[in-house]
Amino acid sequence: MPTPPRASLAQIIDAGREIVEVSGPAGLTMQAVAERVGVRAPSLYKKVADRDALLRAVAGATLDDLSARLESTGDDLAALARVYRAFAHEHPEAFRLMSAVPMPVEVLRRSADPLLRACTRIVGEADALDAARFAVAWVTGFLQMELAGAFRLGGDVDGAFEYGVRRLAVSLRS
């Protein structure tokens, strides 16, 4: 007798995202996810290959959100950097997970697009990819170190970020 599904893939991923944000990736157990969507753990395997695939899906959904946010931000490099940082502060655990998980190329491409456009405007087409890598490396490195607590040697971290935004602009313009 056919039975309608009780937990959609979208619900499972959403549950995963909530758990990751409150308990970190280690807290995302199949049982915790199952409980949240009102089902038993084995049922999750109808929608998800295994825990790792669910983690990748959570990371992918997070990157999609970030991409949408960046897309609506425009062409300004400094603005993009600040939106990026705001997102990381809102979802620190998901942000760190995102950086640890390998993404499909098309997802990467979409997320890179706004930055690539901003860089093309500044350095031209030929250097745009190198420049975008320079910028994205700086901003993700900064945020990962900030979130990992690596910036504890004094000084003002907000100030250091704005210093970086300025230096970034300077370096691409010369």
Partner DNA sequence: ACCTGAACACCGTTCAAGT
The stretch near a second copy (CB under 8 A) out of 37-45, 65-73, 86-94, 122-130 is 122-130
Tell me the one-letter amino acid at 105: V
- How far apart, in whole angstroms, are the C-alpha atoms of residue 170 and residue 174? 7
Site membership for DNA, residue 171 (CB under 7 A): no
- How far apart, in whole angstroms, are the C-alpha atoms of residue 56 and residue 51? 9
Nearer to DNA, 32 or 61 (CB): 32
The option from a second copy, DNA, none interacting with 22 (CB < 5 to 8 A, set by class) reads: none
The residue length of the chain stands at 174
Shortest separation between residue 107's beta carbon and a second copy, angstroms: 10
For residue 158, what are the CA distances in angstroms to 74, 135, 146, 165? 22, 17, 10, 11
- Taking CB under 7 A as the rule, which mask of x and - marks residues 5-44 in contact with DNA? xxx--------------------xxxxx------xxxxx-
Q: How many angstroms separate the most distant Cα atoms in the chain? A: 70
Site membership for DNA, residue 110 (CB under 7 A): no
